[in-house]
Structure 1
Amino acid sequence: MTQVGGRWRVSRPWPAQLRPIVHSYAGYWEAAASPYRVRLVPTGRAVVVISLGEPFAQIRRRLGDASPNSQVTGSLVAGLEDGPRVCDHPGGQEAIRLELTPLGAYRLFALPMSELTNRVVELRDVLGPEAAMLVEQLAATSDWGARFDLLDRALAARLEHGPRPAPEVSHAWRLLCRAGGAIPVGRIAAEVGWSQGYLVRRFTEQVGLTPKMSARVLRFHRAMSLLTGERAHLTEVAAACGFYDQAHLNREFRALAETTPGQLAAARVAEGALALSGAGPPSS
C-alpha cells in the first residue's frame, strides 16, 4: 500500500493466469475528496476502471471536445489511443484500475480491439450484464484482498472463453515491444510470413492500432519513461529511442501528447497521467 499524491494505492501480485495479459493491477481511494484534471497520454495498453465511488465527470480527447465520450462515465473500458485524452474528476474516487496488453484485452473483451480505438465506453457495453453484478459485489466488499479475489475469478472465467490472437499477430507485437517501436513494418511482415497489407489488417483488428502507429506509441512511451528518470538528456533520449533528431522527438511529443519533452519531464507523471490541475494522478 502506497500513497500517490492525495490518493492511496493498494496492489498485490496477480495470479499466474493473468500475468501475461496484465501490466498493472491496483485499487485506489482518496483520503480527502479533491477535484482534479489530468491528461492521459498513449501507452500502448488498454485500461479497465471499475468505479466504486464517484465517477469521472468528463473524459474527452481534447480540452475543447464535446463528443459523446464527454458524458459522465462510471466503470469504463478505454481502448488504445493515438493521442491524449483529458479526464475531469469531482473528487471522492474509489476504484480498481487494470492496464492490459492489447492482445490480452482482445481475449478478455472478445471483440475486435479496432472497435475500441480512441474510445472510452461503459464497462457493461464490453462485458455485458454481468459487469453490473461484478461492480455491485466489489462495492459491497470493503476488504481489498476479497475484492481482488472476486475480480481474479471473474477475469479468469472470461479468459477461458475468449478468442486467441493469431500467433503471427502475437509475434509481431513482441517484435515491436522488444524493439521499443524501432523496427520497420516490412521487416515484421517478413518475419511473420505475411504480406504487409495482410499484417496491417489482422494486427489492427486484434491490437487496435496499425503496426506503424503502434511503433510510434511504443517509441514515445519508451522516451517518456527515460525522460522521467534522473539526469535525462533530450539528445541522448532521442538517439536511444530511434528518433532522427531532437526536432523529431519534439514533433512526436506534440502529436501524441500535446506537450513537449521538457514539459513532460518536469511534470508529475504516474501511469500515463500528467496532472493539469487539482490533486494529482487518477486511477484511469
Structure 2
Amino acid sequence: MVKLLHSEACSSIWFSLAGDVRIGDIAIPEGVVVLPVEKVAAQVSLAPGSELAGIRFQPAIGYGLICQHFGRPTVLNRDPRQLPGLIPLFSRLKTCCNNVSRVSTMQSWAENNFRLTRLIPGALQQALDCIRDDAEPGSLTQHLEISQRHVERLFKHWMEMTPKQYQRILRVKRAINYIREHGQVNLAEVAHQFGFSDQAHMTREFRTIARITPGQV
C-alpha cells in the first residue's frame, strides 16, 4: 500500500509495530519514531503485514511536547520528559489485536499524559490563527503586539519555517480539500478563490508542496 502523507506543517509520533514501513526511500525501524515537521508531502509505503499506529500534532504542538526538532525520522530510545510512558505505550500497542483497540489505547494514554495547559506561546498561537483567517504574513504586526522580527523568530524556533511558508502550506491544503469536496471544478476559479496569482502558480505550488498537480487530486 502506498499513500501520500500531505504536508500540513504538523509533526507526528509513529509506532512502527511490524513489517516494512517506508517514507520515500527511508526505512522506518520498529519502535517509537518521531517525524520531522511536514513541509512537503511524502510517500508512505507499507508492505504486506505492516502494522503502524500514530499520533499527529497540530503545528508547533509537537515541539511544545518534545522540545526538540528532528531532521529525519528518528527512533526514541527513551521517553521525552514531557511525554512519559511512550515506550510502554508501544509495548501495549504491540499486544493489541486490531485497530479499534489501538486507537482506544492511544486515546487513554493521551488523556492521562497530555498536559492541558498552553503548550505554545500565546503570540505564536495568535499568529497561526491570523494566518488561518487569511491575514498576510507580512502584516501580522497589525494584529499582534510584537514585532515582525519576533514573529519570524517564533516560527523558526517552534516550527522551523517562516510565516510565509506556513501560509503556502495552508493555502495548498485548503485548495486540495476544496477540490476533493467539489469534484469537477474550474481550476482557474479555485486558484483565484484561494489566493494564487493564477492557475499556473497554483500548479507550481501543488507540485512543490503536495507533490501532485491539481488535476491529480
1:239-279 alpha-carbon deviations (Å, 9 max, x no partner): 1111011111011112113322112x2xxxxxxxxxxxxxx
Give the alignment of 1:172-183 within 5 angstroms: 172-179=127-134, 183=135
Equivalent of residue 29 in structure 2, options 52, 69, 73: 73
Structure 2, unaligned runs of 5 or more: none
The 5 Å alignment of 1:65-214 reads: 70-74=26-30, 75-109=32-66, 111-112=67-68, 115-116=69-70, 119-124=72-77, 127=80, 130-142=85-97, 146-160=101-115, 164-179=119-134, 183-214=135-166
1:236 aligned residue (175, 189, 193): 189
Give the 4+ runs in structure 1 shifted more than 6 A. none
- Map of 1:224 onto structure 2: 176
Question: CA offset at residue 219 of structure 1?
Answer: 0.2
Matching residue's letter, 1:80: V
Residues of 2 paired with 1:251 and 1:126: CA distance? 40
Note the residue ranges of structure 1 that are not aligned, 5 or more in a row: 1-35, 266-284
RCO comparison, higher one (Cα < 8 Å, 6+): 1
2:7 to 35, 42, 51: 42
Are the equivalent residues in 2 in contact too, given 1:227–1:233 (CA < 8 A)?
Answer: no
Instruction: Please tell me the residue identity of whatever aligns with 1:254.
Output: R
* CA distance in 2 between partners of 1:170 and 1:252 (Å): 25
Which whole-Å CA distance do the structure 2 matches of 1:157 and 1:59 have between them? 30
* Sequence identity (%): 24
1:12-27 correspondence runs (5 A): none
Give the counterpart letter for 2:23 in structure 1: I
In structure 2, C-alpha distance between the alignment counterparts of 1:221 and 1:164, rounded to whole Å: 24
CA distance in 2, matches of 1:122, 1:169: 28
How much is the aligned-residue C-alpha RMSD, in angstroms? 2.7
Q: Give distance in 1, aligned partners of 2:171 and 2:197.
A: 12
Contact 2:8 2:170 in 1 (8 A): yes
- Residues in 1 aligned to 2:116 and 2:5: alpha-carbon distance in whole angstroms: 31
Q: Structure 1: how far apart are the matches of 2:168 and 2:99? A: 37
From 249, 252, 260, the equivalent of 2:213 is 260
Query: Matches of 2:110 and 2:89 in 1, distance apart?
Result: 11
SS of the equivalent of 2:152 reads helix
Task: Specify the SS of the correspondent of 1:238.
Answer: helix
Superposed displacement of residue 166, structure 1 = 0.7
Q: 2-side partners of 1:247 and 1:78: how far apart?
A: 31
Contact kept in structure 2, 1:108 and 1:162, CA below 8 Å = no
After TM superposition, give the deviation of residue 124 of structure 1 in Å.
Answer: 4.2
* CA–CA separation in structure 2 for the residues paired with 1:89 and 1:143: 17
SS in 1 for 2:19: coil
Counterpart for residue 23 of structure 2: 59
Q: Name the CA shift for 1:126/1:208 in 2 (closer, same or farther; >3 Å).
A: farther
Q: Shift in Å at residue 169 of structure 1?
A: 0.3
Query: 1:215-256, CA deviations, whole angstroms, 9 ceiling, x for partnerless residues?
Result: 000001011111222232201210111101111101111211
